[in-house]
Amino acid sequence: MAVTLEHPTYEFWKLTIGAAATIGIYSVLYRETKFYRFFEHMFLGLAAGWSITALWTENLYQNWWLKLVGSQAEGTEKAQPGYWAWIMILPLGFLAYTIFSRKHNWLSRIPIGILIGLGSGQAILNWFKLYGPQIDNSIKTVVPTVNDSALVPSKLGADAARLAEIANNVYVSQAINNVIFLFTLLSVFSYFIFCTEFKNKFMKSTTVAGRLILMVGFGAIFGATVMTRFALLIDRMYFVWVEWFIEKVLQR
């Protein structure tokens, strides 16, 4: 009898191999053994094969091949023309492999230089797109524009004119938050001024406050990282104990 992908036997052995691989990878917590190295090498081999496939299907095919030979827009009968100039990327890509030649390895610097140049320009653009709005939003008003309400009024049921009025005003609670934000921002900035030594007590206190704020921020980031690792661990343990051992092994 042929075993299909939906057959219970295939499902059982698929989960069994997955559970064995999970246990094998986590066995490094005990020590690095041949059992762990086997699954480590298997994972690296699968990752390398998947990367090669993903390189073509998710990158080269869409961003190079279809632009070279042309394509047809999905759901339409209009074809997109191809451009032969895209073929020039192929020899540039092959030049990168001349790094394995002692005589011609200098040619590999050509595509590397092009990639570094394009990457640098893209990095600068991405930097402004990411941090530009943050710099703009750091300029906040610390003086409330209205004093009739300490808290921001509810926007529930408000018309467009009322929403615009609420957005354009700074209420007392918002002004207090803005003062705290600016104090935090300036304290952290003062901590990174290393070109001079502060002798003023106020500036010393400000740098100490900035260091403490940074420690709180880094602690929160580290805590979130640990929680992410625990979430992955809980998911894999649920797979091993529930999806495989309880549902498949004990009920088999």
pLDDT confidence of residue 6? 66
Query: Counting runs of H as helices and runs of E as strands, what totals does the chain give?
Result: 8, 2
Distance from C-alpha of 19 to C-alpha of 13, rounded to nearest angstrom: 10
List the chain residues with pLDDT less than 50: 1
pLDDT confidence of residue 113? 92
Distance from C-alpha of 16 to C-alpha of 45, rounded to nearest angstrom: 20
pLDDT confidence of residue 10? 82
What phi, psi does 156 have (nearest 5°)?
A: -70, 120
The sign of the CA dihedral 158, 162, 167, 169 is: negative
pLDDT confidence of residue 129? 92
| Count of Cβ atoms closer than 10 Å to residue 27 Cβ | 15
pLDDT confidence of residue 202? 85
pLDDT confidence of residue 76? 57
pLDDT confidence of residue 48? 92
What does the domain layout of the chain look like in residue ranges?
91-137
C-beta pairs of 156-159 under 8 Å, 24+ apart in sequence: none
- Which amino acid does the sequence have at 7? H
pTM: 0.58
- Which amino acid does the sequence have at 235? D
What phi, psi does 71 have (nearest 5°)?
A: -155, 170
* DSSP states along 119-164: HHHHHHHHHHHHHHHHHHHT----S-S--S-SSPPP-TT--HHHHH
